[in-house]
Amino acid sequence: MDYISTRGTAPALDFEQVTLTGLAADGGLYLPREWPRFTPEQIGAMRGLPYAELAVRVMLPFVGDSLTEDKLRDIATRAYGRFGHKAVTPLVQLDEQHWLLELFHGPTLAFKDVALQLLGRLFEEFLQRHEGRLTIVGATSGDTGSAAIDAVAGRDNVEIFMLHPHGRVSDVQRRQMTTVLAPNVHNIAIDGSFDDAQAMVKRMFGDRQINGPLRLGAVNSINWARLMAQVVYYFYAALQLGAPEREVAFSVPTGNFGDVFAGHVAERMGLPIARLIVATNVNDILHRAFSAGDYSAGLVTATAAPSMDIQVSSNFERLLFDCGGRDGTLLAEQMRSFEHSGAMRLTEAQIAGAARGFASCRADEIEMAQAMAWAKDRCDELIDPHTAIGLHAALASALPAHVPVVTLATAHPAKFRDAVERATGQRPSLPTRLGDLFQREERYTELPGTYEAVTGYVLRHARPHG
Ligand SMILES: *Cc1c(COP(=O)(O)O)cnc(C)c1O
């Protein structure tokens, strides 16, 4: 299997290279050259497999010659062995039609662990082969940071620099990053938004002053391997609800469009998905794109669901490429114009392609709180603000009663205790495996939100890859 860039000019790479590279040299994102496809019989035969084994079946076609099946099984087994629930991502029924897929049983309590526990071990495997070193630069709206840090802390061939928007992540989110004191972990709080941080990270990949002396790696969902890992739980949930004989819909709390794009990949691979519902908060660029063809960035508004406080959704580029005829030249042109003006016009083919499998819905702060209260009062479930946005969209979706609707529960409610308590009157307790998070020492550096300040810091503190 080889991988091509959405902007058409970067060299094709194999799975190992694409995992270590992150962003393509032409600024684009990598995608498999074609989608592997399972027959309904092959999908039916996956029913009942343990999670790690299902992960091997779903991911193997993407891995090509980069890993043997046994090596992939070993990596998946170790990655998912760290989850706090035997089912890894258990499915919970809310009422006749609605379900929650709990993706938050990993070490840092958000769905990012599902991909990053795997990615950390892939980095280790591939770097060992060449005795190489990798410098990870990442931007986080809260959850990627802690999940990535957990996945690589203490590994000596990886160094990680994680940028978060100062004061805009929850206290649990911040402490999960800043209390990891391993010498290869560098937390940076920047003055600015997640979008500012993400733009700086992308710029570093194209900057020879940095991505020359250092070999940069990506843990954001620009990294293909992350999306690949997330495809698995769409299969896991749908199989339990009757796939491939029955169609299932998913409602996905969306920020950077990585998680819901993984659902699109599952659909391309043959999983019968009735609809993918893109659920956004008031930072609704994607809802405007899907409902009105208007892809134009506004200002970021801080909400109680900070991991979705995003205006520029990197992975939307992958969908436009895949739905719009896979024309790299066209996309490079569109993205240049977007980066310049903050707005872009979608082509007819892109609009039609996106409209086929997707719907979208926006929840404001009141609707989000109402969804948390609904889950508590009607189903005795505490859900986090991100999941609540997904649930609001699921309940509003008006799908026929025979279509099960699965809301992805992307974070544990304890990660956002204040917001959950405000909406439900109940304060979720921290799982015991977080232990003494609030007593531990924190370490992080505050920097102005300028490219020079951040890159200067990275160059001073990173070890060259030699
Ligand atoms: C990252 C995150 C999201 C958004 O996921 P994307 O893949 O960026 O769309 C939603 N909810 C939570 C809790 C997250 O951490």
SS3 457: helix
What is d(CA 397, CA 252) in angstroms, rounded to the nearest whole number?
Answer: 12
* Tens-digit pLDDT profile for residues 278-305: 999 999 999 989 888 889 988 889 899 9
Q: What is the pLDDT of residue 354?
A: 85
What is d(CA 12, CA 444) in angstroms, rounded to the nearest whole number?
Answer: 37
226 C-beta closer than 6 A to ligand 1: no
What is d(CA 157, CA 176) in angstroms, rounded to the nearest whole number?
Answer: 22
**Which two structure tokens, joined as six digits, stand for 123?**
């980095």
Whole-number Å distance, alpha carbon 308 to ligand 1 midpoint, is: 6
Whole-number Å distance, alpha carbon 352 to ligand 1 midpoint, is: 25
Task: Please indicate, yes or no, whether the overall pTM of this predicted structure exceeds 0.85.
Answer: yes
Mean pLDDT computed over 193-214: 92
Whole-number Å distance, alpha carbon 304 to ligand 1 midpoint, is: 13
Cα torsion 402, 291, 26, 453 to 10°: value is: -110
Residue 464 has pLDDT above 80, yes or no: no
pLDDT band with cut points at 50, 70 and 90 for residue 16: very high
Cα four-point dihedral sign 324, 329, 332, 333: negative
Residue 466 has pLDDT above 60, yes or no: no
Question: Do residues 225 and 194 make contact, with C-beta atoms less than 8 angstroms apart?
Answer: no
252 C-beta closer than 6 A to ligand 1: no
Mutate-to-test residue for ligand 1 from 174, 265, 386, 420, highest number of ligand atoms within 8 A of CB: 386
Question: Do residues 205 and 218 make contact, with C-beta atoms less than 8 angstroms apart?
Answer: yes
**Considering only CA atoms, which residue is closest to atom 14 of ligand 1?**
307
**Which two structure tokens, joined as six digits, stand for 389?**
């946005």
Mean pLDDT of the chain: 94
Q: Which atom of ligand 1 lies closest to the CA of 258?
A: 7
112 C-beta closer than 6 A to ligand 1: yes
Whole-number Å distance, alpha carbon 193 to ligand 1 midpoint, is: 16
412 C-beta closer than 6 A to ligand 1: no
End-to-end CA distance of the chain: 30
* Tens-digit pLDDT profile for residues 145-189: 999 999 999 998 999 999 999 999 888 999 999 999 999 999 999
CB within 8 Å of 279: residues ≥ 6 apart: 251, 252, 253, 254, 360, 361, 362, 363, 389, 390, 392, 393, 394
What is d(CA 186, CA 445) in angstroms, rounded to the nearest whole number?
Answer: 8
Instruction: Give the position of tokens 């957990």.
Output: 150
Cis peptide preceding 306, ω within 30 of 0: no
* Tens-digit pLDDT profile for residues 382-408: 999 999 999 999 999 999 999 999 999
Residue 189: how many CA atoms within 13 Å on its side-chain side?
Answer: 15
Please, is 369 exposed, middle or buried when counting C-beta atoms within 10 Å of its C-beta (0-12, 13-18, 19+)?
A: buried
Mean pLDDT computed over 201-223: 92
220 C-beta closer than 6 A to ligand 1: no
Please, is 212 exposed, middle or buried when counting C-beta atoms within 10 Å of its C-beta (0-12, 13-18, 19+)?
A: exposed
CB within 8 Å of 163: residues ≥ 6 apart: 137, 138, 139, 140, 188, 189, 190, 197, 200, 201, 454
Q: What is the pLDDT of residue 130?
A: 84
Mean pLDDT computed over 328-346: 92
Backbone angles phi, psi at 313, to 5 degrees: -95, 100
Catalytically annotated residues: 112
Q: What is the pLDDT of residue 465?
A: 59
Whole-number Å distance, alpha carbon 130 to ligand 1 midpoint, is: 33
Q: Which residue has the higher pLDDT, 127 or 170?
A: 127
Q: Which atom of ligand 1 lies closest to the CA of 221?
A: 7
Whole-number Å distance, alpha carbon 68 to ligand 1 midpoint, is: 31
Please, is 94 exposed, middle or buried when counting C-beta atoms within 10 Å of its C-beta (0-12, 13-18, 19+)?
A: buried
Domains, the chain, in order of start with CATH, read 91-110+225-424 (3.40.50.1100)
110 C-beta closer than 6 A to ligand 1: yes
> With b meaning 16 or more CB within 10 Å and e meaning fewer, what string describes 415-443?
bbbebbeebbeeebebeeebeeeeeeeee
Q: Which atom of ligand 1 lies closest to the CA of 143?
A: 15
Question: Do residues 225 and 122 make contact, with C-beta atoms less than 8 angstroms apart?
Answer: yes
Q: What is the pLDDT of residue 300?
A: 86
Of 20-24, 70-74, 410-414, the least confident: 20-24
